[in-house]
Every structure is written in structure tokens, then in C-alpha cells.
Structure 1
Amino acid sequence: MTDGWFALYPPVGGGRGAYSPMVAELRDHGHCHLPALAGRDNRFAESAAVRFTDLADDLWTQLEAEFGPGRDPGGLVLFGFSMGALIATEMAARLQQRGTAARGLVVAGCPPPHLLAGHALHTLEDAALTAALAAQGTVPRVVLDDPGLLSMMLPVWRADCAAVASHPRRPVVLDCPVHALGGTEDPLVREADLTVWPRLGGAGSSVRMVPGDHAAVLDRQDLMAAAVLASADRSSPTEARW
């Protein structure tokens, strides 16, 4: 059992439904904060942020609104995959600056912020951008096969990629445990970089590699949910339970 709650941040182009399988499980254990990003869900008419600082400011405002009686910031476990991992890390850092460490941070398919590569996907032409994201295996096939959906998603993808490219890439050191998950064959995230994550977190931090590439990590929502729940459970060492 846990007495924590959860905040989940999506990958490039993702919205509130990005983690539907794991959210269904997590909701049996605590409140799930699923922020609304501009350009998708109920904010579809808004332009997606192209600067990471603007994106983070928006999402921090939404997270702050969750704090209150019965929802202790110190019981929060933050999670994100790829771009979402960068956002979750930034939220954990802001929470710590506020004076309260999160209970835990779980990151998947992403290097530590200061080790980000300098990819500029947002500068590619539409076809090249689509091909690059499709090659990562994380773009739903239904979007790639539907010209209408594709035209709607391209501005969001481009903005998200620009936001990632604008990340300040400063080292982050956190008091809370950090648990990292990555694929052994992920061409975008080196295993050597993933192993740095535990050095940036508090006691009990860990890293776990699973067979597969970038998309394979996102497909393991069962394992991601297990990591989040283990991070929320203070009864025994996290790394022994996921």
C-alpha cells in the first residue's frame, strides 16, 4: 500500500492519454495529476510552447494548484518518459527549491538533463520530422496513416521538439530517490548516460535496463507503473520491488 500520489508527464506529442494503461493501475493507489499541455486535449486551440522554460512554468502552475490539505507535496512521485522525464525532473527540482523534496522521481527513456544531445528535430521539414519521430517507434500508427491527424499533430511535435532543444541542460541534483528505466538497444539514450541518474538522486536511487529500443521502454507501462508504485511505498527498498 502507498499513501502517495502521482504526477505524470507525456513524451513529445503526448497528452493525458499517453499513459492510459499505467494510469488505470495507479488510480487504485492514489490521485493521478495529469496536466493539460497546450496544443492537445482541452487546450487544443492553444499553441504549444516552444521554449522549455515556458512549458515548465505552465506545468508548475498546474502542479502547485494540486497542493493543499490532504495532498502533501512530500508524498508526490513524479514520472515521465523522454520529454516527460525532463519535465518531471524540472518539477522535482522546483519542488525541492520550494522546500519540500518529492517522495520520488521515475524517469524513462531519457538521459540526465546535462547530458542531452543537441538534436534539432524542430528545424526539419515536415516529412523529415515525421520520419524521424516515426523511426523512434513512439508515434501511434493511426496518426501516421491519417493525413488529417498528421497535419494536426505536426505543429505540436515541432513545438515539443523545439522545447526540448531549448532545455538549459544544467545539472540537477535531487534529495529524493531517482529511478531510471532504459532500453538496452535504445539508439537515442546511451546506457552509460542512464547510469548517471542514481548519482543525481537521494538514497535508494536505482537504474534498470530492459531489452529493446526506445519504443520498447514506452511499451513496458507495466514496469513503469511498478516503478512508480515502488517509489511511493516507503515500506521496503524500492530497487528490490521493480
Structure 2
Amino acid sequence: MAGLLSQGERWVRPYRLTPMPRWRLVCFAHAGGSASFFRDWASALPADIDLLAIQYPGREDRFGEACLSDMPSLAEAASVALRGYADRPLALFGHSLGAVVAYEVAVRLAQQAIAVEQLFVSAHPAPQCQRGGQLHSGTDQALLDDVRRLSGRPNPLLEDPALCQMFLPSLRHDYQIVETYSRAAPQPLNSRITVFYPEQDPEIDLDEALAWQAASLQPLHLQRWQGEHFYLIEQRQALLDALAASLLGRRPLTSPALEEAL
């Protein structure tokens, strides 16, 4: 069945598509995550922002497909899939692993003369500041323990051995992508980059957040958030308000984020 679907149908989940949106917001999930993480954002965003999410292979409705384990393959396939949606202004949002996937997709779209006007990167160091790691080649228990460390809350999925066995292959491949990804220097984009920086997140420090400036020819915008790695779950509506404010040029009524133009 997968072979009969177009690249766009396999990779892109259009959670809201309208005839004349002001923006198309495309979301990229964290390691072990999937497109459905973003599904309910559609009802909480303004009606003139379309919502799409990229579905990595090896999970949910792509469970029967082989997982990818390197950034170039993942970013190239996702960028090809998005070409059919580039008739409206594109904004990309990526959390954790998804931040650097979104950046690499933006690079590839730019090479095809498709502009990504806005790139939102959340809770992940700049491309030239990758920390590496070996968890992808370690034990299942070590991988699951790292997910528990980052989640900061009970997760029933991690306590069910059968579900864990289904979840582990995609998780391990995602960790391999992020732990082996590196760029000596980023390729600067014309995109405006906004960094969402959770101040209590052990996966990123302020210098690593500010280093995203090297990836853009525009002034960097930094938004500081109270919270740890998955701050965007607890502060979901505030985050969506911040996205809408940036895209539509209006200030959210209430938001714990502090934006700095650098």
C-alpha cells in the first residue's frame, strides 16, 4: 500500500487545509514522536493558519515501513513531500529532534527556490552545537530511562512491555539520527528563526540556543519559557498563542514567554 501512495500522502498529515490560508504551519516531532502529537493543535490555532505534520516512517499508520536512521534521508524525503504544499507561505515548527529536521528540510527547500519564511525551533541546540551520544547503540533499558528522564511525568506507554517493544525500533532510529547528526557550520537561511528556549531543560543551554543565529541571515528571536524539555505540553495554549502572534503579527493576550530580538 505504501508504494501506491504519493510522497506527500505518505509523509504529510494535513490536519487542517483551507483554500486561502495566510500560513501553512508544518510540524516535526521529537524522537519517538509522531504526527498525531500535533493533531489537536488545529482546533486551537486561528482559522487562517493551516496545520500539517510530518509523519516519520516506522510509526502509527507507517508502522510497517522501515525506520530511517540518518538525517539526510529523512530531511530529503520530507522536503520532497512538502513541495506540493508550497503554494502558500510556509512556516516550520520542530521540537527537539524535530528542530534540526525542520532546519534541514528548510535548507533543502531553499535549494529548490521554495522559501520557508519562518522557522520555529524548540528545545534543541543549533546545528553546529550537537552533543552527540551513544544511547542509540546501547540497551533498551537505557533508551527508555532517557525517555523517562526527559518526559518528567508518568507515561503508561513506558510501563507496558508489549507497547515498549513496538515503540523501541522507531525510538532507537530517531536517537541514531540525532546523535550522529552534525554540521561544522550551518548553512544560513533567509528564514526568520525563532528559538523556543525552556530554561530548565537539560538538553539545551542559553549559548546553544543563541547559536541558532548562525543559521539565519535575519536577526534571531529568542523566547524564554519556564519549564523542562516538554514544556510545550504543560503550556500548550500559550505556545500556540506565541506561534499565532509571530505569524499573524499580533501579541498573545497572556503568555509566559519573553521574546528577545538579538
> Into which bin does the TM-score normalised by the smaller protein fall?
0.7 to 0.9
Partner of 2:34: 15
1:53 and 1:167 in contact (8 A); partners too: no
Q: CA deviation at 1:105?
A: 0.4
1:197 and 1:207 in contact (8 A); partners too: no
**Residue deviations 1:138-162, cap 9 Å, x none?**
7871211221111100111001001
Q: Which amino acid aligns with 2:113?
A: G
Partner of 1:124: 138
User: Which sits farther off after the overlay, 18-27 or 47-56?
Assistant: 18-27
In 2, distance between residues paired with 1:50 and 1:23? 29
In 2, distance between residues paired with 1:235 and 1:6? 17
Q: CA deviation at 1:231?
A: 3.3
SS in 2 for 1:207: strand
**Residue deviations 1:93-120, cap 9 Å, x none?**
1122222331200010011111010122
In 1, distance between residues paired with 2:233 and 2:210? 18
TM-score for both structures, normalised by structure 1: 0.87
Q: CA deviation at 1:77?
A: 0.6
In 1, distance between residues paired with 2:237 and 2:219? 21
Greater relative contact order (Cα < 8 A, sep 6+): 1
Q: Which amino acid aligns with 2:155?
A: R
Question: Whose strand fraction is larger, Structure 1's or Structure 2's?
Answer: 2
**Among candidates 181, 200, 206, match of residue 191 of structure 1:** 206
Q: How many residues align?
A: 233
**Among candidates 120, 129, 147, match of residue 106 of structure 1:** 120
CA-based RMSD of the aligned residues comes to 2.4
Q: CA deviation at 1:82?
A: 0.3
Any unmatched runs of 5+ in structure 2? 1-20, 252-258
Partner of 2:52: 33
Q: CA deviation at 1:181?
A: 0.6
> Aligned residues: percent identity?
25
SS in 2 for 1:20: helix
User: Which sits farther off after the overlay, 137-146 or 99-108?
Assistant: 137-146
SS in 2 for 1:79: strand
Any unmatched runs of 5+ in structure 1? none
**Among candidates 21, 33, 44, match of residue 63 of structure 2:** 44
Partner of 1:83: 97
2:132 and 2:178 in contact (8 A); partners too: no
User: Which sits farther off after the overlay, 139-148 or 205-214?
Assistant: 139-148
In 1, distance between residues paired with 2:149 and 2:250? 41
1:5 and 1:232 in contact (8 A); partners too: no
Q: CA deviation at 1:137?
A: 1.0
